[in-house]
Structure 1
Amino acid sequence: MVEKHTTQLPAGAPMAQTDSEAADAAGGDELTSYRLRRERELSSLYQTARSLTALGEVDEVLRSIVRHAHELIGSDFVYLSLLEADGYLTVRASGGTISPDFPQARLPPGRGLGGRVIESKAPFWVSNYRTAQGLPRDPTFDRLVPREGLTALLGVPLMVGDQAIGALFAADRSERPFEKDEVALFSAFASHAAVALDNARLYERTRGSLQQLTDAYRASEARVAAMERAAAVHEALTHVVLTGGGPGDIAQILVEQLRGTVSVQDRDDRILAIRSAGPRVDEEPDLERRLHAEARSTGRCASAAGESGAFRSVVAIRAGGTHFGFLSLTRHGAPDAADVRMLERSAQIMGLLILLRDARIEAEERVRGELLMELMSSAPPHPAQRDRALAGGVDVDRLDVLVVAECPTRPVSDLVRQMKPLASEWSGLAGDHLGRATMLLRADDTDRVARALHHALRRTLGVPTLVIADRMVDHERARSFLLAQRCLKVMRALGENDRGASTQQFGMYALVFDPDRADDLTRFLTDSIGTLLDYDRRRSTDLVATATAYFTHSGNLSRTARSLHVHPNTLLKRLQRITGLLGEDWRSPDAALRLNLALRLHELRAAVEGTAAASD
């Protein structure tokens, strides 16, 4: 601290001295005092400079500069401002201030005493800042001056080479001049402080560069690790492709790398494979549907956190422009970019696997379809056919059930496409035979196999479907095919449109759909309703249709007349004509049962053979 000294005589000194002697003594004491004060100031400056050079952090150096400057110069308060990139001089540290706004003060370029110091790169002081003339004023800073009580102000530049990087200020709250020794001491301190501050900045930049290099090295290590990990996964996925692996193998590889739960779904949202590295997270259908839609529309991985906090990531499986399903990862923790790339790459591999599998299946099904057509057109099978079938896992000598499926709202090709994989499950053959979706398989229970196939087709097609199964006798495939076709027509004539059954279940109608019994049916119809059929042919009447409607409506005359669109009197005349042809007892229980059955079989035969019932 600068000390203000007055000359004093030592106690007990003799008074008898001449004026010249007294003057010499006083001058010597003042010089000694000045030297001692300068030595203390320089010692303090040296110690302060040493303490500043030991610091490294910029903010720590700024605070230390202000603290030491406050102690060294002994003013009311001290503050340090640094020159910013925009030219503003901004207070960065202060000591002894009382206004809360002063430590954030900023001076525009060229304004105030600080602007003068920066432009001149030399010290400058005023004994009273408020009344000083010739200083360009800044209204914002001038409003802070009375709040802080700033009066006398000394500013010295902080120089690094020939560049001013800021200014150090000493201020008093009372008016006074600053002596040359004070200005010199403050300037010397500012020079040391500028060096310390520049070193701290260099240290900070060096440390930042070192941190950047460290971060870059770590990032490089992470990238190398990620590349090695990706290469390992790619090698594992390639192995899956080359060895004919499936969705479960890919799911297992992903679980080992990403943890969580990995699932693979087909295009119908059925689970093909699921693997987990821990407890499975509960499904959230709404979130799953939303992510499925987003992944399919964008072609990229879609991720979101569910209500449980677990993240679900979904990628659409595609290949050749065809959608095959979805690959999903569920785990606690959002996937990073490398995880997303791994999922998307795995989905591409999955699409390739499915494409290869479908191509293989299509080739196998084509062979099976060709085998079916060959077997249906020849009996018994040729040895070469047997060998080809055995190569595909089918023993043609054990195929004893023939199935025909029918769906009016879908083309036969759709039915065949759905039946081919089902045929593989039953170790059979499926294909298109004479425009019908046909299957040959081995089964002990024809009713059960018909119901099972109907259920599977109904679920995949989503529309009513008829399936009929017939057990072949002596491998008479052509006969069974004909029976199945005709039985389907009987089923439709009976009002069936969505059912799986065997021909045995419709045995009572075998007279209609079994060609071998056509003569039996003709004799039965001739004996029962031959007279009515002959009368209708000769007279162009509708007695057969009238009798059919009469039995359909249980003998109710009003309903029968309405169904025929005739007057009741017309109906009565027709019934009298039938009585005249068949006899009075045609409505007796036994006669009526025989007649009703004959009329129904006649109607069914017309449906099967595609003829008009009344014109047989």
Structure 2
Amino acid sequence: MAVKPRTSSDASSALVTEVVAAIRSEPGEGMTALAGLLADADVAAAEVEQLLASVQESQQLTARLRRRATELEALFSTARELVRLQDVTDVLRRLVERAHELMGTDVTYLSEVENTGGDLRVRYSVGTVTPEFRDLLVPAGFGLASLVAQSREPVWVRQYTRMADAPHDAAIDAAVEREGLVSFLGVPLAVGDEVLGALFACNRFAHDFTPEQVLLLSAFADHAAAVLHSARVLADSAAARARAEAAYQELQRHLEATQVASSIHEQLTAAVMSGATVVDLVATLSDRLGRRVWAVDDAARPLDASIGARSGLPARALLADAVRESQRSGHAATVDDGRHRWLVVAILGADRVLGAIVAEDQEDAPVEDVARPTLERAAHVAALVSFKREAVSALRADRRAHLLLGLLDGATGRDAAELGAEFSASITACAVVDVRGGEGALTAAADAVGDDGLVAQRENHLIIAWGVPDATAATESVRRVISDRMRQPEVTAVVGSVADGIPSLREGVDRATRDLRFLAPLGITGATVRSEAFAPYHVLTSATPDAVARYVDDLLGPVREWDARRGTLLVETLGAYFDGGESRRAAAAALRVHTNTVQQRLERVWALLEGDWSDPEYRFRVQAAVRLETLRGRLAAEGV
């Protein structure tokens, strides 16, 4: 088959096709084949050179447009993700990955400003091989990152080790060296006047970055800045919504707590109007708050006598500190001993602390919302109750004190007569308490005594007329109350017996008063003692004419009667026995009788006397009575 000769038309068509193909190719491709076709077509050399130059220029323009289209597509993709911003971390990671692909560098990473000091930390990276660099912290003022943040302009270096525009940091230089990075291009992530970070493209060889690379990386940096700014705005908005919601919930809790506290306050006020006590108030608080609540006096003792002395309460020192803090602030104070917590609010009087309300803390209870304002209101109510109780107690104590003083002073009148008749049968003891200064001792003592007796104050002495089984123990209890209330540990009391109503009461009070004066020289304070302990000395200080005779009769009456009826010498024998140092032989010699006779007489004395002869105190009292009787007899004989 014969080959058809190639025509000039076919050659021209092939040349055009090759030119178009070369223009669409990457720069440099197809240029050799095109040059051959032009030579075969007998094109002039000058025209060939011009045509080839035009094709090369078209190739570069086409490649640039193609690259620009790719870049724009990447930027559009990032913009679309920015609009649909859901996961900030994912968006920024993909942004860095796209920048890495388009920049064609070895490493691309994003650093974010970490704190107010301006330190930057690597957050996202592509192409890194060392873990240290992926979390690298660049202190403010050091390294290329700080230079980008401070200048707010793109910065690049051909060789990092030769960078002199920013101070080097040893840790940063070491991380860069381990990563093998040489050239850097950094652009700022800025929104308005604030720099949020920097975006970097790096190579592991020396490289001069082109303006196109700077612009491309800057475009990605702008998107990254928009992502970070949007994330912060969204976070601030979410935080603002959360704060608003929290404030609303707090307001709602406060309103609910206020309503509950007001309801409890109304209930407490109603209880006060019906005559409730402070103990009743804390019982109501305990029921409404769902926890244990106590009322204590100013000495931290529970007012409710039915509970343990300090069951469940904090230590006295901790409680005292909390009461003082509450007194200063006017609000409830918190006590925490490491195991338990309490709320303590002081009950304040006009010039002193009347006591406190103590509530235990519970982990699942709204302590701050309900308990605190409720307890503070309850303390005000308790103070009013205490004022009322003290006023009533003071009036009652004043009236009863007036009547008791009237009885002691021999007053007459219907009230005195009725009270005297009533107490003539029930009074069994008296007590005198020494108090020095201060107010409130009479009221405190009257409250402690209650209906068991009467209390009056005469100068620095409180006088108590008792009708109790154990007057010594009862007086000691009152003495402690007064000592705590007056802050006077040296308060002293003397208890005396009352044998036959009001006359004996007057004598017992006078005797106890003298005994108090006798205690001071002995150095006895802060105690309760029985007046009977001073019996031998009463006759020495008494102004009563028959004091000695009564004392002797109380102790030696049966012995004297025996001597009077039988004509014996028992009292004389006792005197000789004591003079002889309680020696029977010495007594027999002094009386000029046999020792057996002395023994028989002493046995008779022991049988007649009711005391315990083995008690040295009792023997001393008997000896004092014998000597007084002997002295009285001798003086009477000399007078005759």
Please confirm whether the aligned pair reaches a TM-score higher than 0.5, indicating the same fold.
yes
Q: Unmatched 5+ residue regions in structure 1?
A: 442-448, 501-510, 533-542, 562-567
* 1:407 Cα deviation after fit: 5.5
Task: Provide the secondary structure at the position in 2 that maps to 1:136.
Answer: coil
Determine which of 238, 241, 251 is the counterpart of 1:207.
238
Equivalence map 1:170-569=2 (5 Å) = 170-267=201-298, 270-273=301-304, 283=311, 288-295=315-322, 298=325, 303-305=334-336, 309-315=339-345, 317-333=347-363, 336=368, 339-340=371-372, 342-343=374-375, 346-347=378-379, 349-374=381-406, 382=414, 400-406=425-431, 420-421=446-447, 424-426=450-452, 429-431=454-456, 437=463, 439=465, 449-451=468-470, 453-461=471-479, 466-470=495-499, 477-478=502-503, 481=505, 498=530, 528=563, 547-550=573-576, 557-559=580-582
- Over 3 Å counting, the alpha-carbon distance change for 1:432 and 1:531 in structure 2 is farther
Task: Provide the secondary structure at the position in 2 that maps to 1:273.
Answer: coil
Q: 1:401, 1:275 → 2: CA distance?
A: 28
* 1:148 Cα deviation after fit: 1.7
Alignment correspondent of 2:486: none
* 1:153 Cα deviation after fit: 1.6
Alignment correspondent of 2:183: 152
Q: For 2:474, give the aligned amino acid.
A: A
* 1:170 Cα deviation after fit: 0.7
Q: For 1:184, give the aligned amino acid.
A: L
Q: 1:341, 1:523 → 2: CA distance?
A: 73
- Over 3 Å counting, the alpha-carbon distance change for 1:512 and 1:525 in structure 2 is farther
- Cα-to-partner distance string for 1:104-132 (whole Å, 9 max, x where unaligned): 332544x6544554565443433433346
Q: 1:433, 1:114 → 2: CA distance?
A: 91
Q: For 1:73, give the aligned amino acid.
A: M
* 1:7 Cα deviation after fit: 4.7
Q: For 1:459, give the aligned amino acid.
A: S
Q: For 1:217, give the aligned amino acid.
A: Y
Contact 1:127 1:177 in 2 (8 A): yes
Alignment correspondent of 1:575: 591
- Over 3 Å counting, the alpha-carbon distance change for 1:6 and 1:464 in structure 2 is same
Contact 2:397 2:446 in 1 (8 A): yes
Task: Provide the secondary structure at the position in 2 that maps to 1:175.
Answer: coil
- Over 3 Å counting, the alpha-carbon distance change for 1:322 and 1:135 in structure 2 is closer
Equivalence map 1:89-104=2 (5 Å) = 90-102=121-133, 103-104=135-136
Contact 1:261 1:275 in 2 (8 A): no
Q: For 2:582, give the aligned amino acid.
A: R
Matched, 1:168 2:186: no
Q: 2:110, 2:60 → 1: CA distance?
A: 34
Task: Provide the secondary structure at the position in 2 that maps to 1:425.
Answer: helix
Point out the more displaced range, 96-105 or 13-22. Answer: 13-22
- Over 3 Å counting, the alpha-carbon distance change for 1:153 and 1:32 in structure 2 is same
Task: Provide the secondary structure at the position in 1 that maps to 2:389.
Answer: helix
* 1:213 Cα deviation after fit: 3.1
* 1:43 Cα deviation after fit: 1.1
Task: Provide the secondary structure at the position in 2 that maps to 1:157.
Answer: strand
Matched, 1:69 2:99: yes
Task: Provide the secondary structure at the position in 1 that maps to 2:160.
Answer: coil
Q: 1:157, 1:22 → 2: CA distance?
A: 42
Alignment correspondent of 2:168: 138
Q: 1:336, 1:167 → 2: CA distance?
A: 47
Contact 2:495 2:512 in 1 (8 A): yes
- Over 3 Å counting, the alpha-carbon distance change for 1:290 and 1:524 in structure 2 is closer
Q: 2:340, 2:426 → 1: CA distance?
A: 51
Q: For 1:575, give the aligned amino acid.
A: L
Contact 2:431 2:509 in 1 (8 A): no
- Over 3 Å counting, the alpha-carbon distance change for 1:35 and 1:68 in structure 2 is closer
Identical amino acids, percent of aligned pairs: 24
Contact 2:496 2:531 in 1 (8 A): yes
Contact 1:319 1:348 in 2 (8 A): no
Q: Unmatched 5+ residue regions in structure 2?
A: 1-24, 481-491, 516-527, 533-545, 611-618
* 1:378 Cα deviation after fit: 7.7
Q: CA RMSD in A?
A: 5.6
Alignment correspondent of 1:106: 138
* 1:318 Cα deviation after fit: 4.5
Q: For 2:131, give the aligned amino acid.
A: P
Task: Provide the secondary structure at the position in 1 that maps to 2:385.
Answer: helix
Q: For 1:450, give the aligned amino acid.
A: P
Alignment correspondent of 1:444: none
Q: For 1:468, give the aligned amino acid.
A: S
Contact 1:458 1:464 in 2 (8 A): yes
* 1:146 Cα deviation after fit: 0.9
* 1:268 Cα deviation after fit: 5.6
* 1:361 Cα deviation after fit: 1.1
Point out the more displaced range, 265-274 or 597-606. Answer: 597-606
* 1:67 Cα deviation after fit: 3.7
- Over 3 Å counting, the alpha-carbon distance change for 1:263 and 1:130 in structure 2 is same
Q: 1:115, 1:290 → 2: CA distance?
A: 58
Matched, 1:78 2:104: no
Alignment correspondent of 2:69: 39
Q: 2:318, 2:305 → 1: CA distance?
A: 18
* 1:46 Cα deviation after fit: 0.5
Contact 2:187 2:200 in 1 (8 A): yes
Contact 2:323 2:344 in 1 (8 A): no
Alignment correspondent of 1:540: none
Task: Provide the secondary structure at the position in 2 that maps to 1:138.
Answer: coil
* 1:439 Cα deviation after fit: 3.3
Contact 1:404 1:437 in 2 (8 A): no
Q: 2:324, 2:635 → 1: CA distance?
A: 60
Q: 1:125, 1:337 → 2: CA distance?
A: 60
* 1:261 Cα deviation after fit: 1.0
Q: For 1:190, give the aligned amino acid.
A: A
Q: For 2:283, give the aligned amino acid.
A: Q
Determine which of 151, 154, 165 is the counterpart of 1:123.
154
- Cα-to-partner distance string for 1:555-575 (whole Å, 9 max, x where unaligned): xx45359xxxxxx98x66753
Contact 1:49 1:193 in 2 (8 A): no
Aligned length: 540
* 1:47 Cα deviation after fit: 0.6
* 1:526 Cα deviation after fit: 8.7
Alignment correspondent of 1:536: none
Q: For 2:429, give the aligned amino acid.
A: V
- Over 3 Å counting, the alpha-carbon distance change for 1:50 and 1:377 in structure 2 is same
- Over 3 Å counting, the alpha-carbon distance change for 1:8 and 1:207 in structure 2 is same
Q: 2:633, 2:354 → 1: CA distance?
A: 50
Q: 2:411, 2:195 → 1: CA distance?
A: 108
Task: Provide the secondary structure at the position in 2 that maps to 1:271.
Answer: coil
* 1:95 Cα deviation after fit: 3.4
- Cα-to-partner distance string for 1:11-46 (whole Å, 9 max, x where unaligned): x99975547477766665655444333222211210
Q: 2:240, 2:607 → 1: CA distance?
A: 107
- Over 3 Å counting, the alpha-carbon distance change for 1:78 and 1:363 in structure 2 is same
